[in-house]
Structure 1
Amino acid sequence: MLDAFSALGLSESDGQIYAALVAAPQSTAAELAERCGLTLQQSGKSLNRLAQQGMATRAPVDRERYLPVAPDVAIGTLIGHREAELRSARAEMHRLMDTFREASRFTDPAHSVEVLTGGEAIAQRIAHLQDTTQQQVRGFDCPPYVQDPASNLSRQRRRLKEGVRYRTVYDKEAVAWPGRLEEEILVGAEDGEEARVRTSLPMKLILSDDRMAIIPISVGDSVLDAAYVIHPSALLQALDGLFEAEWERAVPLKAAIGDEPGLLEPDADHRKLLGLLAAGLTDESIARSLGWSARTTQRRLQALMRELGATTRFQAGMAARERGWL
């Protein structure tokens, strides 16, 4: 226990006094000193420090006696402070490593690629990548995920407000992920993210400007527990070219959030439907992504095709393009 307190920045005597106070609330400094084998002066100083750190308080009636703050609050606060310090140190480490690689990449090609292992390490590096981007973040989005995709919305919103451009190509399976279209993708688009969709993507990818990319080591549906970080090199240039090629082929995901439909324009539901049809989603996937029943999906598909004068999905797509709806 005392070793754990030491890891949180408490001295041995402070840890002893706090543990004794938890076991015997309403104790005086003298009583605690006797319990812990300390002098009265040592006990008094420890109690003062514990009070300053929010781990102990004086009793309301007898001011010579002390009460402990609940351990989950007192120790939890110390853990929070230490975690914040570690996050700051980790961010500084990443910044220095970026500088180190930039300085050494012409003399040591081995620094062009590094390996990350573990979901937490990958998530932390992706967060660092976004926080240090100067111009734009680009990405391929497809399952599986290291963490809940929606957890990135607040960071993306902050960076968009700071002038960073976000361009994302979503795999149809990402769009069909239950609830994700309405609760995240369209919300991100409303914030300013430029979103497009493809029937399939070659890999997961996130790019920061022209200085860094992260791609998974494994492919397919396997658990994402290892990734490559690619620094300035021919490989990074190739990933840059791959993204731009897929971006050109992808279909813009036009949600028309908040737009007033014109006389010759599709309404919001039809725009969503058109985007998903153009992306190659099946009726079942469209129903899941939009939260519609199978019957509602079929009814709206038929209504849209009648409006476009089409008898097949291909004809519907061509007619929508001719009207400028896609």
Structure 2
Amino acid sequence: MDVTSDSPWGSIGLDRFEGQLLEHLMGSPPADTASVAHVAGVSTAKAEQALRRLEEVSLVQRSAGQPARWTAGPPRSSLGALLARRRTELARAEDLAERLYAAYEAASAPRSAHLVEVLQQGEEVAGRYAQLLRASSVEVLHLAKPPYVTADRTSAPVPEVGPGVRLRSVYETEGFTDAVSLDTASRGTAGGGELRLASFLPTKLVVFDRTSALLPVRSERPAAGSLVVHSFALVASLAALFEMVWDQAVPASLNAGHARTAPPRRPAAVPVDERTREILGLMATGMKDDAIARALGISRRTVQKHVSDAGTALGAKTRFQIGLLAAEQGWLDRRAPGPAPGTRHAHGPGRTAVTS
């Protein structure tokens, strides 16, 4: 039987020719085998074989007499009964698949538990992340991208890398669209961490001393859980992925005008008017100049002037630097949207919140 996927009859177990014969009989008076074969342009033997197949599944009936004549049954009842049988068969197959999967999981868990941990609760992820971070003694590699989750800062202290641990982070540029993200990245580099930016990251990822790695089960839904990978081959592959991203990413400094080795310090306080604060707060959310102008009921030129004046006051040359330094000045704290009180963005290691 040639049941093809592009045939509508394939879903109920009929091949294309059987379906064509059934369609013919549905719109024709009873006919004998020879007449059906003539209309179909096939041998009598092939027509007989297809008609008997249709009879087996109760779609056609054969009348008594010589020669026997074939009649299609009422489609609602005959096809409905066939579809019901097929649904029952599919349900049994699905049940079998579930039982086989359960048996596979039961047999596989003991073998794979030492290679991969599955963390399903946010508290599990936060606790395991902090533990792995504290245990790191050489380096932490970090890829951070939206969407971010939040962690209650009152439930546990924000984990930090230990002294002498090299921290390298690559942030997806979309992650620099609100005040909390900018401030988090700034604190992440304040202790000597290295930062780069990329327009796209394949996944969230943290690699600890190249012996363990933490990444979400589903990148688009970080709250769905995380995986802790211990397999040497897998961790090595994830570390290689990080290095590829790191090489292509653009280095960024959050302390404009100062060498990275200089003691971390915040720029001197700069006054800001309320309108500039509003504009920069909206700019930090990712809004373009035209959208900001419409939201505040001012002209696009006015928006650009405030941004330019802010850059001059901060000593910044790009909009990105303006956003970073404005966050350090605290200009965005009152206006820019962020997590609810008691929460912070989950960006990753260093002086940052939990990545998951």
**TM-score if structure 1 supplies the norm length?**
0.45
Greater helix fraction, Structure 1 or Structure 2: 1
**TM-score if structure 2 supplies the norm length?**
0.42
Rg larger for: 2
